[in-house]
A and B are shown apart, each in its own frame.
Chain A
Amino acid sequence: MHRTGQLYGHFETLEQQKESAALGMWVFLVTEVLFFGGLFLAYTVNRGAFSTAFGAGSNTLDIKLGGFNTVVLIMSSLTMAMAVWSAQVGKKKLVSIFLIATLGLGTVFLGVKVIEYKQKFDHHLIPGQGFDMRYRSEHPRATDDPKEIAIEKEEVEKTFAVDQDTNAHGQLYFSLYFAMTGLHALHMIVGAGLLVWLIKASFAGRFTPQYNTPVEIVGLYWHFVDIVWIYLFPLLYLIDRHR
């Protein structure tokens, strides 16, 4: 099997075999780019049509949690890249350490996402029957500062004055929010599963300078998921903060 790092008959060198594997992963990532691209397109079209409600929806997201998650995910990309490097230079222990760090950071990201989803649930911001973006007292932002709360209340009232159908258009925003971040989180969960598999193999000392294709390939996938978040963070969290 390929996993043992033997040379298959149809390849000339191990190098060529590895390059082909990476090429195959890239072809898969092209399909992923277009898959997420469709969602980004749906988001762009709807945001263009209903920018007031989308801005108001975006401003309900917690920028501290989102920013923290961005930092966590970029750090996990660094540890993933370092795991690849460790395998390439033959530091077997470091491979395991960096892979475990990557898995840990990925888990932190998903944990924060759970907190964020829970907040949306508490604030009646899940699309469906109970959805309501009007201001309510149990909706405070991260702060209890009455000034901040007054500003938030005023913003919500202004939004409804401009767009009477804010509750309808806001549901479009949150549908896209949950579809995009949910799909992203699903990719993270798949990535976490792949990392568990890699960590097990790294404990067995499987990855060497001659054979580290799985680390490299899962790395490509992990960095791609990071790139999706690099676009999601400004588009979902930051589009209307400057009022």
Chain B
Amino acid sequence: MTEHIVSPKIYLAIFATLMAGTGITVWAAFQNFGKFNIVIALAIATIKATLVVLYFMHARYSPKRTQLVIVCSVFWLAIMLSLTLADYNTRRHEGRLASATTCYRA
């Protein structure tokens, strides 16, 4: 098996896409999409991150073993985020979190 060399053309194309993504993120942040502002921002960030992982970090051309490790990281992150948020979002927590803030008062 020989090493796959990603050509500078692909790097430049990815770079251009990342720049465009940054521009769209800033533009979208100033529009009022209501609840969807955060969804749009995170969706664009995730697309950008995926491009970086696939091409700049060569994940697309890596052995399956390495790809499995990458997928695992996302999987464990998803467990941490989804279970914790499911917990916070289904409890009546607001009063308790707010009362905790007295200790932050200057």
Chain A interface, number of residues (Cβ within 8 angstroms): 63
Question: What does the 1/0 interface line of A43-55 toward B look like (CB < 8 Å)?
Answer: 0111011000000
B96 to chain A, nearest CB (A): 10
Query: Which residues from B are CB-within-8-Å of A115?
Result: none
A69 to chain B, nearest CB (A): 11
Query: Which residues from A are CB-within-8-Å of B14?
Result: 78
Q: Say whether A37 contacts B81, CB under 8 Å.
A: yes
Q: Say whether B26 contacts A85, CB under 8 Å.
A: no
- Would you call the interface of chain A mostly helix, strand, loop, or mixed? helix
* Complex partner residue of B70 from A26, A63, A132, A235, CB under 8 angstroms: A26
**Residues of chain A having any CB pair with chain B under 8 Å:** 15, 18-19, 22-23, 26-27, 29-30, 33-34, 37-38, 40-41, 44-46, 48-49, 63, 67, 70-71, 74-75, 77-78, 80-82, 85, 88-89, 127-132, 165, 167-169, 171-172, 216, 219-220, 223-224, 226-227, 230-231, 233-235, 238-239, 241-243
**Residues of chain B having any CB pair with chain A under 8 Å:** 1-3, 5-8, 11-12, 14-15, 18-19, 22, 25-26, 29-33, 37-38, 41-42, 44-45, 48-49, 52-53, 55-58, 62-63, 65-66, 69-70, 72-74, 76-77, 80-81, 84-85, 88-89, 93-94, 97-98, 101-102, 104-106
